[in-house]
């Protein structure tokens, strides 16, 4: 129940936050503000010293002579000087945390010792009682901490102080009591949006100990904390933990009604791209990702170092990650090619900003990265003249072709443009690569190309077949190496099921899954791009490289896990009070319950444990050219039936669904 005093204080705080006085004090320039704090400290130390003498002699103390006044003044002066050299005045007073308070304690202790030694060395007028030294230290500490607490209370985060009852915000636990966890606790405590209820750590030697003012507990103590507090979130502060360790912890936390946030990866923190305070909610990459295998640096150098590289589809999920990784490996020139102006602009700006950041590390980095030429080209793979111009103009050594229409339902509804972009676009670029003397052409393919049940998969397999035939036709000259890299879904790519689930959860559901039995392979975008580069470097011509995708993932389990990790519960018959409902919508046209990576189970190992290669059947160029000529006529005539019949004949295993046959029976597309 609110008291009149509480109401008055709350009202006064609201007015103070809006006052010109507060704005003036907050916006004082740094040096005058620091001088003001030093003056206040001098006054507080002087008062603490006078009060100590008055308490000792039980009277209103007045120094006995002028020289002794000088001895007494050494105390606040030495205190302020000590504070200055210990960095106390570099701290923003309204954002002080435990480590800053500890430093203040040490500074006061050191200043008292310095003053005591100096006074005994030069003082011949009056003996300073030892009790005064102790009480001076205590009162100085009390006065300085109290004033700093008051400043923090009045000036920190005005948006959290409009109502005293709202000062305490979200209650959280930090999982990981290491250096990073402590830094995070300090950073969050400055923001005023969190109340930290302690640390959780797997190390038994830390249990029941304290970090700052926070207690460290075992993971098994979480149920007790849930009963005694209103904890809503756990923040995983273990950026150096292996993915296996993170998976174990996340699966453990999944059983509790807690949202889970995590810090960025250690390499991102060390590189300066993000800081300790850049929290994010746990994603499926934290659960489905895996510990990376160290890349073969020789393979990277062979295909990138000092060369001119073109990434086609540079604005897409895989293309943009290829662009990032290739830029880091010191190419001579990197050409970013995309049909989407906005996507191209975003990746260009990201790489330019990244170059600036890397250049600040050292003069060597600055020279190396500033010399890399970055070229952005807007264009279509179907524009043969423009593509020929750009390949010749930039003297391209290697092409990574990641441009394709990839969304199965959309390509099913737009089969003609899917064929043009995915097959003819690849054909045009491959032919021009041969014509202009490009050394290496790497096609980004998909597991949907294996015995496809949809047009998208069929187009990717047909593009693979063309490169295989072209490679064999030109194997004697060896002028251009053509190869393909095939893999499954990548985590959190544009338009992926992960993004769809996340959006549906944020909107309160329902989360839609096509079939409870559907499974898919998943891989992180960075790992996929890294393996694509290495596979491309290993190629001799005509191989299909297959990336090891790990174990397939049940999409139903993926959706359930995402719901729980975002702090919600699944609503079903067993839990009618849950937050998010799940619905099964049925397989879409062209969709399979499971995907494959190999047409024939004859793959061979390579230099990399997660890359296999395979020789797969294809038509010779002479026969394939005839078939593609017929396909070109079909496209020109908008012959949908002819399109499906030709794809059935050309692509092993492709059978269009009954729904698609019915849908396009009378509808030209």
Using one digit for the tens of pLDDT, what is the confidence trace for 533-569? 999 999 998 899 999 887 788 888 888 888 877 778 8
Q: How many residues does the chain have?
A: 669
Confidence band of 23 (pLDDT split at 50, 70, 90): low
Alpha helical stretches, state H, 199-340: 222-228, 243-253, 266-271, 284-288, 297-303, 317-328
Residues 548 and 660: their CA atoms lie apart, in Å, by 32
Q: Can you say whether the dihedral through the CA atoms of 271, 274, 276, 282 is positive or negative?
A: negative
Compare 280 and 233 and report the one with higher pLDDT.
233
Query: Residue range 15-30: average pLDDT?
Result: 66
Q: Which of 147-161, 313-327, 511-525 has the lowest mean pLDDT?
A: 147-161
Which positions ≥6 away from 171 have C-beta within 8 Å? Answer: 194, 195, 197, 229, 230, 231, 232, 233
Alpha helix positions (H), 617-668: 621-636, 640-650, 658-663
CA-based nearest residue to 160, from 150, 174, 145, 170: 170
Tokens of 272: 């300066």
Which residues, 6 or more positions from 349, have their beta carbon under 8 angstroms from its beta carbon? Answer: none
Specify the pLDDT at position 124: 47
Strand order in the sheet with 210-211: 210-211, 214-217, 194-200, 170-175, 231-236, 259-262, 280-281
> Which stretch, 42-56, 294-308, 381-395, 565-579, has highest mean pLDDT?
381-395
CA distance 431 to 433: 5
Tokens of 249: 């912890």
User: Percentage of the chain with pLDDT > 70?
Assistant: 82
| Whole-number pLDDT of residue 164 | 40
d(CA 517, CA 556): 8
52 band by pLDDT with thresholds 50, 70 and 90: confident
Long-range contacts of 107-112 (CB under 8 A, 24+ apart): 107/79, 107/82, 107/83, 108/79, 108/137, 108/140, 108/141, 108/144, 109/137, 110/82, 110/86, 111/75, 111/78, 111/79, 111/81, 111/82, 111/83, 112/75, 112/79, 112/136, 112/137, 112/140
pLDDT at 509: 82
Average pLDDT of the chain to the nearest whole number:
82
CA-nearest of 562, 564, 530 to 548 is 530
pLDDT in tens, 68-120: 777 778 888 888 888 888 877 776 665 566 667 778 888 888 888 888 887 77
Contact, 471 vs 428, CB < 8 A? no
Q: How far apart are CA 348 and CA 342, in angstroms?
A: 10
Written as six digits, the tokens of 394 are: 């930039």
Q: How many CB atoms lie within 10 A of CB 499?
A: 14
Q: Residue 28 above 80 pLDDT? A: no
Overall average pLDDT of the 293-310 stretch: 89
The pLDDT of 651-665, averaged and rounded, is: 70
**263: which residues sit within 8 A by CB, 6+ positions away?**
180, 184, 235, 236, 237, 238, 239, 269, 276, 278, 279
**Confidence at 168, pLDDT banded by 50, 70, 90:** very low
pLDDT for 659 beyond 70: no
Mean pLDDT of all residues in 384-401? 96
pLDDT of residue 10: 59
Q: Is 193 exposed, middle or buried (0-12, 13-18, 19+ CB in 10 A)?
A: middle
129 or 635: whose pLDDT is higher? 635
Region of poorest pLDDT, from 57-61, 301-305, 335-339: 57-61
Q: Which of 154, 192, 148 is nearest to 170 (CA)?
A: 192
Give residue 570's pLDDT. Answer: 86
Q: Does 121 have pLDDT greater than 60?
A: yes
Q: Which of 160-174, 405-419, 433-447 has the lowest mean pLDDT?
A: 160-174
pLDDT of residue 15: 64
**What tens digit of pLDDT does each residue of 452-478 get?**
888 999 999 999 999 999 999 987 777
Return the residue matching tokens 């920190």: 156
Give, to the nearest 10 degrees, the angle between helix 455-473 and helix 621-636. Answer: 140
Most confident of 2-6, 42-46, 59-63: 42-46
User: Is 253 in contact with 234 (CB distance < 8 Å)?
Assistant: yes
Could you tell me the pLDDT band of residue 297, with boundaries at 50, 70 and 90?
A: confident
Residue 312 has φ and ψ, to the nearest 5°, of: -90, 125
Question: What number of other Cβ atoms are within 10 A of residue 6's Cβ?
Answer: 12
CA distance 35 to 26: 14
Q: Which residue has the tokens 């993915």?
A: 243
């Amino acid at each position: 129940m609110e008291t009149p005093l509480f109401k008055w204080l709350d009202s006064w705080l609201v007015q103070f936050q809006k006052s010109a006085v507060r704005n003036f004090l907050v916006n004082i320039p740094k040096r005058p503000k620091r001088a003001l704090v030093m003056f206040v400290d001098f006054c507080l130390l002087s008062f603490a010293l006078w009060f100590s003498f008055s308490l000792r002699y039980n009277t209103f103390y007045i120094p006995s002579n002028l020289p002794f006044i000088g001895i007494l003044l050494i105390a606040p002066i030495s205190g302020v000087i000590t504070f200055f050299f210990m960095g106390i005045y570099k701290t923003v007073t309204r954002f002080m945390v435990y480590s800053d308070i500890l430093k203040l304690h040490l500074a006061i202790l050191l200043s008292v010792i310095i003053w005591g030694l100096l006074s005994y060395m030069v003082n011949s007028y009056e003996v300073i009682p030892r009790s005064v030294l102790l009480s001076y230290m205590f009162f100085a500490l009390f006065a300085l901490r109290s004033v700093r607490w008051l400043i923090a209370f009045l000036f920190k985060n005005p948006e959290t102080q409009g109502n005293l009852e709202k000062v305490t915000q979200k209650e959280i636990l930090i999982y990981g009591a290491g250096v990073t966890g402590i830094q995070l606790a300090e950073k969050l405590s400055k923001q005023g949006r969190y109340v930290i209820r302690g640390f959780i750590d797997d190390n038994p030697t830390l249990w029941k100990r304290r970090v700052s003012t926070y207690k460290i507990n075992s993971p098994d103590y979480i149920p007790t904390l849930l009963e005694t507090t209103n904890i809503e979130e756990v923040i995983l502060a273990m950026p150096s933990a292996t993915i296996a360790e993170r998976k174990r912890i996340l699966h453990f936390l999944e059983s509790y009604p807690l949202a889970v946030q995590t810090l960025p990866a250690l390499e991102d923190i060390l590189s300066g791209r993000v800081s300790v305070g850049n929290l994010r909610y746990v994603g499926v990459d934290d659960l489905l990702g895996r510990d990376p295998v160290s890349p073969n640096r020789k393979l990277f150098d062979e295909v990138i170092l000092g060369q001119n590289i073109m990434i086609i589809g540079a604005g897409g999920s895989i293309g943009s990650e290829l662009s990032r990784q290739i830029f880091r490996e010191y190419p001579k020139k990197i050409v970013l090619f995309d049909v989407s102006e906005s996507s191209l602009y975003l990746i260009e700006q990201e790489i330019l900003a990244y170059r600036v950041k890397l250049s600040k590390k050292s003069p060597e980095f600055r020279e190396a990265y500033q010399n890399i030429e970055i070229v952005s080209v807007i264009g279509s793979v179907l524009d043969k003249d423009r593509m020929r111009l750009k390949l010749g103009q930039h003297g391209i050594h290697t092409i990574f072709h990641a441009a394709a229409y990839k969304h199965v339902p959309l390509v099913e509804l737009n089969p003609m443009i899917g064929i043009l972009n995915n097959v003819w676009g690849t054909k045009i670029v491959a032919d021009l690569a041969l014509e202009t003397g490009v050394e290496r052409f790497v096609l980004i393919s998909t597991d949907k190309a294996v015995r496809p049940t949809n047009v998208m998969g069929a187009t990717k397999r047909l593009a693979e077949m063309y490169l295989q035939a072209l490679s064999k036709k030109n194997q004697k000259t060896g002028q251009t190496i053509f190869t393909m890299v095939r893999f499954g879904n990548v985590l959190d790519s544009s338009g992926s099921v992960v993004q769809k689930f996340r959006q549906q959860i944020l909107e309160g559901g329902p989360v839609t899954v096509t079939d409870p039995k559907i499974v898919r392979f998943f891989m992180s975008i960075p790992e996929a791009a890294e393996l694509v580069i290495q596979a491309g470097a290993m190629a001799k011509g005509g191989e299909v490289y297959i990336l090891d995708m790990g174990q397939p993932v049940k999409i139903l389990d993926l959706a359930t896990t995402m719901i729980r990790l975002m702090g919600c519960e699944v609503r079903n018959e067993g839990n009618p009070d849950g937050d998010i409902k799940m619905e099964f919508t049925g397989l879409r046209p062209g969709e399979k319950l499971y995907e494959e990576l190999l047409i024939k189970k004859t793959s061979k190992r390579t230099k990399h444990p997660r890359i296999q290669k395979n020789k797969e059947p294809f038509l010779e160029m002479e026969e394939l050219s005839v078939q593609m000529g017929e396909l070109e006529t079909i496209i020109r005539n908008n012959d949908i039936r002819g399109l499906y019949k030709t794809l059935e004949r050309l692509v092993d295993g492709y059978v269009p669904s009954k729904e698609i046959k019915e849908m396009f029976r009378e509808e030209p597309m």
